[in-house]
Amino acid sequence: MAEVEVGKRLELLEIANSPKARASAKDLSDFLYSAERNARLSRPDRLRIVEQALLLMEMNYVHLPMKRAIHAIDPIQQLKMLRFQLAEWNDELESTIGFHRRMLSIFGSTRDLHTLYLLPEPYRDCTAYLPFLIELCFERGVPRFIVTRTASNGDEPTADDSGGARFERGVEVLGWNGVPIGRAIEINGELQSGSNADARFARGLDNLTIRPLNSSLPPDEHWVDVLYCAKNGVVASHREYWLVHKTSDADESSTPHTRKRAAMDLQRTRILEVKKKLYPRDDSGTLGSIKDILYALKKTVNGQALGYIRLFSFDVDDASRFLKAFTRLITKPDFPQDGLILDVRGNPGGNIRAAESLLQLFTPNRIEPELFEFINTPLNFQICKSAPAHWDLKRWLPSIGESVLTGATYSAGFPLTLEPLCNGIGQVYYGPVVLITDALSYSATDIFAAGFQDNEVGLVLSTGGNTGAGGANFWSLDDLVRAQKKDRKSPFQTLPKGAELIVAMRRSIRVGVRAGSPLEEFGVAPDVLHLMTNRDILEDNVDLLAAAAGIIRQRPSFKLSVTPVKGKGTGGIIVSAASKPPSSKAARAISRVDVYANNRPVRSIDAHRGAVPSTQVAIGKTGKKPALVEVHAWDHAGRLVAYRRTTIGRS
C-alpha cells in the first residue's frame, strides 16, 4: 500500500478532486466581499470579544511568563489598548476583517496553537486552498520543493504553460509570486504559530496552499504565480486562483465545541473533520486500521519484515477502548514482532490519555506519565474549586492556594493519565520500536514523543528537527463558562456570532532525566535526524524506512510467552522466552526469567543461550480471587528487558 496523505492535506485534496466541491467553491475575492458585507461586528460585539480575551490572557494563560520572556511580547497591553480605543474613541469602526486581523495578530504573537482567536461566521466554516501540495526534500544537502499532489493527479488533462512545460506531480517549485520559494515559506511561517524555528518553517510550508479561515488570515493575494522547473527542464510560470470551500451544515465542526479540554492543533485537524464522512480512505491491503486514526502495514525493508503503524491522530473519545484496540492490532498472529515503526509525522494530537496509555505496550518498565501545572491565579483557584467533580481538578487546589504564601508561579504538577490506564496492561510487544516525528507533530503527540523518550521506550527519528512544541492542553471559553456555571459572579461570557477563544490552561512538564523541563517552545529533540529525499516524498518513504530499519537492526528483539494452565484447586503457567540480540551485543540476551504471583517470588529460571524453553511453573492455590502473575526477563547486565502479566484462577 502506497503512502497516503492524511489529515487536512488529504481532505483538501479530496475537496479539490470532488466535482461537487469544485462546483460549490467560491473565488476568494467573492468570498471576502460577501463576508465584509454580511458579517459586521458592532462595537459592543467587539468589546465583549476583547474583554473576554483579556480575561483569559491575564488569569488563565499558563505560558504567559515564558512567552513574554522568549518573544518579548505584551499581549495584555495590546488588548488593553484595543479595549480603550473601542470604549473611549468615537471614531468610525475599522472594517470587520481589520478587527479580526488585529485580534489574530495579538494571539499570533504568543506563537501558541493552543491559544487562539477563532473567527465567527462566515470565516469559521471556510477554508481557502490552492489545488496542489508542495513538500520539502533534500538532494546532497540542498533543499528542494517538489509538487507531490495536484487536484487532477493525472486523471484530467492539464494545459501546458509555455515551452511544453506542464505543472504536475514531481516538478520543482522555484518561486512564489516573484519571491524565491524558500523565502516565501519563511515569510508565511512567521504568520503561523510555530513555537520554534523548525515548527514555523514546517507550518509555513504546510499552510502555503491551505488556509483554514477560522484561525488564520485570508491570503492577501487573490491568485498565485508559481515559478517551476518542468520535467522537460523548461522553467515556466503557472497561475492558480485561491478558492474557498465552505463546510456543509451536516458536517460542521469548525470550533472546538466537541473538543473539550483537548490537546490538539485545530488548524491541522479542521479539514479532516469537514470531509471524513464523505471521503473514507481505502484501507485495503493493511493489517488493520482505526478509521481516521491509524492504519498498520507489514513493511519489508532490506529483507527484514517490520510492522509499520501510521498514527495520524489521537482524537478518540474513549482512551481505554483505543488502548485495547491497539493492543489487539499489534498482537495479531500476522503482525511482525521483530521490529515496529511508529510514524506520527503531522499528527496534530487529541486525547492525552489515549496517547500516553500506548507507551506501556512497548517497554518492560513502569510508565511515568508527564505532569501538568496551572498558573497560580485567584481565578484558577475558583475554577478548580467549582468545576464538575469528574473534571478531577481538586488535586491542584492546595498548591494554588499556598502560592499566596510561597509566591510560586505554577501549581504542583499532576498527571492526567492515571496509573490504571498508563500501566494497567503492561508490555505486549517485545521487538525494538522506533518513533518517527517531525516539526508538525504537536500537542498530545508532543506529549507522546516526550513520554517515549523520557521512559526510554526507544529512539526518536525525526524528519524535521524538534517536534512542534505544543506543551499544554487547551480549554475553550465554553469550557470555562461551564466550569463556573453555578457561580452567578462568573466573569466568563459567550461570544457573539459564533466567535470562540481557546487558551493553554495547563502546561506539560517532562519526567525522567529531563524532569521539570517544559515541552512548550522546545518540543522533543530527536535522537536521529533524517533529511527527506526525493525518493521519500515520491516513492513511499523508502529512504526514511531504511533509516528506521537500520536503527532497529542495532537493537535486540525478545519473545516472552506466558500461558495460564488450570489444575484442581491450583493454577500454573507455561512460560518461554527467546532473544535475538545484534552480534555485537551478546550481553543483551536474556539471562534468566523470574516468576512472581501476587508480588511474591515463585521461581527463577536460567536461560541457555538467551532462551528459556517451554517450562511449566506451578503457582499453587489461587484462592477465591484471581492471582496476578508477573514474569520478568533479565539480561546478563541485570537490565529488565521483557515483562508480561496475566491472571490465573477464578475470574
pLDDT, tens digit, 9 for 90 and up, residues 426-459 = 999 999 999 999 999 999 999 999 999 999 999 9
Each residue of 382-427: pLDDT tens digit? 999 988 899 999 999 999 999 989 999 999 999 999 999 999 999 9
The answer as to whether 83 is a domain residue is no
Higher per-residue confidence, 274 vs 35: 35
Amino acid at residue number 216 = S
Do 524 and 462 fall into the same domain? yes
Same-domain pairing of 288 and 352: yes
Q: What percent of the chain has pLDDT over 90?
A: 66
- CA 46 to mean position of chain CA atoms: 32
Residue 570: give its domain's CATH number.
2.60.40.10
Q: Which domain holds residue 611?
A: 557-648
Query: Does 565 lie in the same domain as 535?
Result: no
Rounded to whole angstroms, the Cα distance separating 617 from 627 reads 14
E strand or H helix that includes residue 501: strand 500-509
Q: Are 339 and 432 in contact (CB under 8 A)?
A: yes
Tell whether 614 and 512 lie within a shared domain: no
Instruction: Report the alpha-carbon distance of residue 40 to residue 17 in Å, rounded.
Output: 33
Domain finish residue from 530, 553, 576: 553
Q: How many angstroms separate the CA atoms of 645 and 629, rounded?
A: 6
Question: Does some domain include residue 369?
Answer: yes
Mean pLDDT, the chain, whole residue set: 87
pLDDT in tens, 3-59: 344 444 444 545 555 555 555 567 888 888 888 777 889 999 999 999 999 999 999
Structural contact between residues 410 and 316, judged by C-beta atoms closer than 8 angstroms: no
Q: Are residues 289 and 418 in the same domain?
A: yes
Q: Is residue 292's pLDDT more than 90? A: no
Count of Cβ atoms closer than 10 Å to residue 209 Cβ: 23
pLDDT at 175: 97
Q: For residue 545, tell me if it sits in a domain.
A: yes
Give me the pLDDT at residue 150, please: 84
Q: Is residue 211 part of a domain?
A: no
Look at the chain and report how many structural domains it folds into: 2
- CA gap 503, 506 in Å, rounded: 9
Last residue of a domain, one of 510, 537, 553: 553
Half-sphere exposure of 519 (CA within 13 A, CB side): 35
Q: What's the confidence (pLDDT) of residue 630?
A: 95
Residues 546 and 633 in one domain: no
As a whole number, mean pLDDT of residues 287-292 equals: 85
Measured CA to CA, the distance from residue 551 to residue 461 in angstroms comes to 9
Q: Is 467 in the same domain as 432?
A: yes
Residue linked to cell 466567535: 499
CATH number at residue 361: 3.90.226.10
pLDDT band at residue 152 using 50, 70 and 90 as cut-offs: low
Which pLDDT score, from 0 to 100, does residue 312 have?
Answer: 86
Regarding whether 578 and 456 lie in a shared domain, the answer is no
DSSP character string of 530-595:
----HHHHHTTTHHHHHHHHHHHHTS-EEEEEEEEEE-SSEEEEEEEEEEE--TT-GGGSEEEEEE
Which residues have CB under 8 Å from 34's CB, separation 6+?
122
| Cα-based distances in Å from 469 to 63, 235, 259, 524 | 12, 38, 20, 7
pLDDT at 254 over 70: no
User: What is the pLDDT averaged over residues 311-317?
Assistant: 92
Q: Are residues 601 and 546 in the same domain?
A: no
**CA torsion, ordered 152, 155, 160, 163, to nearest 10 deg:** 120
How many other CB atoms sit within 10 Å of the CB of residue 73?
Answer: 17
Give the type of residue at 335: F
Q: Given this model, what pLDDT does residue 621 score?
A: 73
3-state secondary structure of 211: strand
**Residue 117 pLDDT greater than 60, yes or no:** yes
Q: Quick check: is 464 in a domain? A: yes
Residue 256 has pLDDT above 50, yes or no: no
CB atoms within 10 A of CB 324: 13
Residue 574 domain flag: yes
Q: Tell whether 502 and 480 lie within a shared domain.
A: yes
Domain for residue 413, yes or no?
Answer: yes
Closest to 484 in 3D by CA, of 361, 384, 346, 404: 384
- The DSSP symbol for 155 reads S
Of 522, 553, 584, the last residue of a domain is 553
